[in-house]
A and B are shown apart, each in its own frame.
Chain A
């Protein structure tokens, strides 16, 4: 599926400081509707902080964030989520002492219960966890927890999903399963912004790449353009 021509997310001049450390420094970019966009950069470049700013978990010191036509910087996270901007976290955060099904139903907060239940059964079938729906999440393997988290975030119709290292620590078989799942949902109208350090994978599945370095947008472009960009190579491998 090709990306749309209008941005679903627009950030401008984002600034976030933690004491003396500037985590995000005047960052501005757009994510086009229906696209799969990668957000890459060395450790500490401000990727997760950018996610936190977009989803309301941190308030920017300066700058604006527009989701569709609504300004959302400073909004509460639950409001942003209910408007169709979902996220996952770097470390899988399922609700361990709740069952798989209960986890999914929490993801549908604010929607009608009966259709939420039907949707949960459908998603569990899609990720192959139907047999485990009454199992506590604490008893699942790491990979199964990743799948629960991925299904849970799609319990409500999402316009944009931010995935923070969805493939970290995941074996190649499950990685391909997750990719297939994401691509299927993308084909049905969800836009994705993905952070990951699996460069080959990101270059393969994304249409566009944003590169952050020291809180600034270093460059953006197609995977081919980014891979040959000298500034990107320098930020990852250092100057020689």
Chain B
């Protein structure tokens, strides 16, 4: 392992410890800023798992976020369950819902899938609005009367660490290669023996789980939810925007995109409260026109980052340095 690699790997625990200790030193808006950053980056990572790796662009991931928020809203806000139990249940329910939904929706391709997922999000919001008996409809739910920043901060930090770990695994695994092959050419991937349906559904479920958890934490943090706030299309758009900004289908892309997005949005929100939404639209245009493959791609083209899957590099090195392993190549080829 090179010194550079050691430094890079060593930086992760340092950043992790710093993030874990931050609530001891930060308070008020400064802590909320990082909480929102974790929320944004976590959502970007979630969306990236299915849309970035397989190319199935979802405009409806807010549905999972909203369902997660409502599960915590109903369990903790109405039935007074402990939020530490309600949040994992929110994730579990979303995971269960995502499997048949993925099986159904992933039959659609390209723009049809994108629009189909948008319809799923709208339909879910409608159910939340109309099912008064369960969700209290348009009145919304008061989830919590206390200010829960520190607990939610740690909750989001854990979810973020897990989703980053899952993405790192996907990016360095054969599963990840299969997902990328689906993005590149699904028919050719299937002709290579890739069970595209199974892999897409698995990616979709993983991608739905984390917004469910994050939505649950968000509901506990924000204290009051209604269909308009937690099913807002902006959550979906922001997931897409952050991932495209950083680089879809990569490990570092959502991190870079999410951090940059949080800085820009929070700066504009504070200084130009009436114009900040316009900036989101402008950002989309700028990204699509000038850096369609994200910041990661720019860094790679400039030679500041290399395209390397650590697991493959290690594997090939070991195969090359072990001559007897060549015997494993079947005689027929």
Which A residues have a C-beta under 8 Å from some C-beta of B?
55, 57, 76-78, 81-82, 86-87, 89, 93-99, 101-102, 105-107, 109-110, 113-115, 117-119, 121-123, 126, 134, 136, 152-157, 185, 188-190
Contact = CB atoms under 8 A, between A and B. Distances in A.
A95 B190 contact: no
Interface in B174-231: 174, 177-178, 180-181, 183-185, 187-196
A8 to B, nearest CB: 14
Chain B binding site: helix, strand, loop or mixed by DSSP? helix
B188 A93 contact: yes
A185 B329 CA distance: 14
Contacts of B316: 101, 117, 121
User: What are the 6 A-B residue pairs with the smallest beta carbon separation, nearest first?
Assistant: A95-B184, A81-B193, A93-B188, A115-B328, A77-B190, A109-B193
27 contacts: A57-B190, A77-B190, A78-B191, A78-B192, A82-B193, A86-B191, A89-B188, A93-B188, A95-B188, A95-B189, A97-B183, A97-B184, A98-B181, A106-B177, A106-B178, A109-B194, A114-B325, A114-B328, A115-B329, A117-B312, A117-B316, A117-B319, A119-B329, A121-B319, A122-B333, A134-B307, A190-B332
Instruction: Determine chain A's interface SS by DSSP, over half rule.
Output: mixed
A158 to B, nearest CB: 8
Nearest to B331: A188
Contact of A81 (B180, B191, B326): B191
Interface centre among A76, A78, A101, A126 (most CB of B within 10 A): A78
A102 B312 contact: yes
B132 interface: no
B190 A105 contact: no
B119 interface: no
A109 B178 contact: yes
Contacts of B184: 95-98
B315 A117 contact: yes
B192 A106 contact: yes
* Size class of the contact patch on chain B: 20 to 34
Contacts of A154: 333
B333 A105 contact: no
A78 B190 contact: yes
A97 B184 CA distance: 7
A155 to B, nearest CB: 8
A188 B331 CA distance: 8
Nearest to A98: B180
Given A99-B307, A117-B316, 7 more contacts: A78-B194, A86-B191, A105-B174, A115-B329, A119-B333, A122-B326, A123-B333
Contacts of B333: 119, 122-123, 126, 154, 157, 185, 188
Contacts of B309: 102
B326 A118 contact: yes
A168 B178 CA distance: 28
Contacts of B325: 114, 118
Contacts of A77: 187, 190-191
Interface in B287-316: 307, 309, 312, 315-316
B332 A189 contact: yes
B194 A106 contact: yes
A109 B174 contact: yes
A57 B181 CA distance: 17
B332 A157 contact: yes
A76 B190 contact: yes
Q: Counting chain A CB atoms within 10 Å of each CB, which of B188, B307, B315, B330 scores highest?
A: B188
B195 A78 contact: yes
A82 B195 CA distance: 10
A121 B322 CA distance: 13
Nearest to A109: B193
A119 B331 CA distance: 10
A102 B316 CA distance: 11
A115 B307 CA distance: 23
Contacts of A106: 177-178, 181, 189, 192, 194
Contacts of A123: 333
